Structure 1
Amino acid sequence: MKTRHKPIRVLIAASLLCSGIIFYTSSCTHDDAVLPASSTGSESTDPTYYVTRGSDVVKFAATAANGVYTFDKVHSNVGWETRYAAIGAKLTGKFNWFGFSEFNFDEATPSNTKFRAWVQLNQVNTGESGRDGGCLLTAFNTDAASDAAKSGEPANDYNKAVIQSKTVTYNSAENVYNVVCDFTFMGITKEVTAKLGYAGKGTYTNGTNLLRSFDLRFSISLTDHPLKADQDQVNDKVDITCNANFKQ
């Protein structure tokens, strides 16, 4: 049985690989591609591959200047996942518009590390138009017309979720940073504990710009942040992952 299925699997895998190569080469300009050889950290999903602790300082600014980093949103993302109806397979999604109002990372002195980041709720993207343009916006208590897309942090508090650090300590066992944060969603602020990983460092292909990469992982409870509709359609626990790249 396995022998008969193997050629089909190989054909499917080859087709997917070719499709991915065609899409990549036709849609990416490589302007901000990163040289693999210059990267100290590689697999951001595995803490054993996080950057070996040193004394780096990464300070964010909205505009480029000497000694600061700008947010490379094009190569960053914010994703979430939860189980459908609490017992079903996982539902996943992301947000098309998000950003920072503050980010300062001090590797040697974690107590100096602080950040504030946000997502625009009506820019949710699950890949399913029926959810993105309908039930999810209702559940989030927002609508498609609230706040212009891609115009900075949303003005309406109800149309954004915000996470802000309070304390940061180094976790030597996992080579990550434990972060106590305030998370505001659905008009309610609750304290959450997140893990911040220094996921990579290197240079861009121009040989000049520096790259610094981070991931942040945490979970929230919808009991703490009740949705306005369809609360029973998802699991109480929602896992959130934020991947951020900064350029100097």
Structure 2
Amino acid sequence: MQFRKKPYQIILIAALLCTGIVLYGTACTHDDAVLPASYSGGSATDPTNYVTRGSDVITFSTTAGTGVYTFDKVHSNVMWESRFLGSGAILSGRFNWFGFNTFNFDEATPANTTFTAWVQLNQVNTGEPARDGGCLLTAFNTTATADIPVSGEPTNDFNRALIQSKTVTYNPTENIYDVVCDLTFMGVTKEVKAKLGYAGKGTYPGTTNLLRGFDLRFSLSITTFPLKADQDEVNDNIDIVANANFKQ
């Protein structure tokens, strides 16, 4: 099996956005909440438009405390998908290790919403060991032993992709938040545009702990990045979905 290096670097860039994400997770308690089904594939725009206009303020912290939210990594995800070789079946994957440096959400004043998040590149997971432990790591210019997840962000720049919000505005036509972000990978920074949905407001079963859910969606065209090699190696459009749940 052979994969060319640069197209897969692009896929990885894409998956980053994610942004949703945190420094450490808790054990699964089977308290998964079913959020609105909102993704039919092939489009970065959320078709269900489930944003509400309230006054929630969510401040992220790595430790629990009064009035702050911690990231529920166990019930969050960063996913990507694209057609193999441009015309084959969907090739998809996720990352096992990802996190937030900052996340602040202001429902009433979207301009106050900011986030910075990261993905650890050698923690890619497609469910196929021949890819995850071999050709993808080579494509990402990293190794299996770099930055073994313990806690927090990887220290090696080559093993990390970063996403940082620049502006967040409410889009009344689509009833969703428009986000402009800077995405940095392998020392290259490009501006990307995304759609942010405030996916759910509730409580965890059997507790008074608040649940707040978000998802971020966008499509990335690899022709906008200088890292691409042959165009026909992967589909030009790569769809990204990042889901993040926060707990207070």
Quote the Cα distance in structure 2 between the aligned partners of 1:237 and 1:213: 26
The within-5 A match list for 1:4-19 is: none
Query: In the alignment, is the contact (CA less than 8 A) between 1:122 and 1:142 conserved in 2?
Result: yes
Query: In the alignment, is the contact (CA less than 8 A) between 2:51 and 2:176 conserved in 1?
Result: no
Task: Compare the two structures and name the one with the higher helix fraction.
Answer: 1
Q: Which residue of 2 aligns with 1:50?
A: 50
- 1:192 aligns to 2:192 (yes or no): yes
- 1:88 aligns to 2:82 (yes or no): no
- 1:142 aligns to 2:136 (yes or no): no
Count of residue correspondences: 215
Q: Which residue of 1 aligns with 2:124?
A: 124
Instruction: Kindly provide the CA deviation profile for residues 116-168 of structure 1, in whole angstroms up to 9, marking residues without a partner as x.
Output: 11110100000111111111111111110111124211111111111110001
Query: In the alignment, is the contact (CA less than 8 A) between 1:177 and 1:196 conserved in 2?
Result: yes
| Cα 1:76–1:124 shift into 2, 3 Å | same
Q: Which has the higher contact order (CA 8 A, sep 6+)?
A: 2
Structure with greater Cα Rg: 1
What is the CA RMSD across the aligned residues, in angstroms?
Answer: 2.1
Output the TM-score relative to the length of structure 2. 0.80
Q: Which amino acid aligns with 1:43?
A: A
| Cα 1:28–1:71 shift into 2, 3 Å | closer
Q: CA deviation at 1:79?
A: 0.2
Output the TM-score relative to the length of structure 1. 0.80
Instruction: Kindly provide the CA deviation profile for residues 179-204 of structure 1, in whole angstroms up to 9, marking residues without a partner as x.
Output: 00001123211000011000001000
| Cα 1:28–1:180 shift into 2, 3 Å | closer
Quote the Cα distance in structure 2 between the aligned partners of 1:163 and 1:247: 22
Is the deviation greater in 234-243 or in 211-220? Answer: 234-243
Q: Which residue of 2 aligns with 1:5?
A: none
Quote the Cα distance in structure 1 between the aligned partners of 2:227 and 2:237: 12
- 1:173 aligns to 2:173 (yes or no): yes
**Identity in percent:** 71
Q: CA deviation at 1:65?
A: 0.7
Query: In the alignment, is the contact (CA less than 8 A) between 1:51 and 1:201 conserved in 2?
Result: no
Q: CA deviation at 1:28?
A: 6.0
| Cα 1:153–1:74 shift into 2, 3 Å | same
Quote the Cα distance in structure 1 between the aligned partners of 2:230 and 2:135: 8
Quote the Cα distance in structure 2 between the aligned partners of 1:158 and 1:137: 11
- List gaps (5 residues or longer) in structure 2: 1-26, 40-45
SS in 1 for 2:189: strand
- List gaps (5 residues or longer) in structure 1: 1-26
Query: In the alignment, is the contact (CA less than 8 A) between 1:48 and 1:175 conserved in 2?
Result: no
| Cα 1:47–1:104 shift into 2, 3 Å | farther
